[in-house]
Amino acid sequence: MQTRTLGHSGLEVSAIGLGCMSMSALYGPAADRTEMIALIRKAVDLGVTLFDTAESYGPFTNEALLGEALKPVRQHVVIATKFGFDIDPVTGQRSGRLNSRPEHIRKVVDAALHRLQTDHIDLLYQHRVDPDVPIEDVAGTLRDLISAGKVRHYGLSEAGIQTIRRAHGVHPLTAVQSEYSLWYREPERELLPTLEELGIGFVPFSPLGAGFLTGAITADTAFDPTDFRNRVPRFAPEARVANLALVDLVRAFAARLGATPAQIALSWLLAQKPWIVPIPGTTKLHRLQENLGAVPIALSLVDVDTLSHAAAQIAVVGERLPQAVLELSNR
């Protein structure tokens, strides 16, 4: 497995990480716990060292799953988790409110350390920017947690450019996490240049467009009633019909190179910058192996430019997330 360093932080991780959210939440019922522990450990065997979770996935159950799965190999892996929502610590009930007050962050970190069965969090993200708490207070709290040894590195998720700059001015950010893929390229306008300027790594979530770029989803695909994609405008049946043009493009490109659409979508991301580390999620071993097969595919500059230009000519239909979720982004 090739490795990459997230910005100027010195944090070295596998070129592709594993997003673990779908094992416990949002893509339908939680997967079998025993099977997911086996999958996570297989990912370690295959060279994956970056594992991404959050207190809100479950809530809490995904962190606990990861803690159990990675305990035997804890010193060899990097665990990333997130805080930022108001969740009852006993019942797991979500209030729907954001909460990044310093005292709340400290409590969340202690609880996460317990669930993850570890004495430190390698990379801790603010899940969404809380407009009621100055980002300087958040960054200062994380700086203190780093000094205390409970956290090694910190980052922001779905944060706006000015928020990133302000936080970085208090204590250097290691990574920013936001959506980025062939079907959502907004980060190219301002985010990527800013991260390059500041020496911050980028960890794209949904690098396969929540599964759409794999080619496995059609206009007729029926999602589980609890699957969040039922509420995503980009996955509405009429939007899917239009958006399949992008999948057809990637599929044709993949066929020419003897790869799969998922592998081409991921290799395109890897080719953008050497400090980009995508975190595709899966609950299936064959998909994990397929995704990791993207790492050795070295697209030429001509390939990257050709695919980028062709994809830009296709107008993707529908917002990438429900409106209420979008309103929490880019603050």
Residues noted as catalytic: 57
Contact 83, 133 (CB under 8 A): no
Q: How far apart are CA 1 and CA 15, in angstroms?
A: 7
Q: How far apart are CA 125 and CA 21, in angstroms?
A: 15
Task: Find the helix or strand (DSSP H, E) in which 13 lies.
Answer: strand 12-14
**Residue 241 CB: number of other CB atoms within 10 A?**
13
Residues 247, 251, 253, 258: what is their CA dihedral angle, to the nearest 10 degrees? 150
Structure tokens of 162? Answer: 């000015």
C-alpha distances (whole Å) from 326 to each of 20, 189, 321 are: 21, 18, 6
Contact 49, 6 (CB under 8 A): no
196 half-sphere exposure, CB direction, 13 A CA radius? 11
C-alpha distances (whole Å) from 158 to each of 142, 175, 202 are: 17, 11, 11
C-alpha distances (whole Å) from 55 to each of 24, 92, 101, 314 are: 11, 10, 16, 36
- Cis, bond preceding 59 (omega within 30 deg of 0): yes
CA nearest to 144, candidates 87, 103, 112 = 103
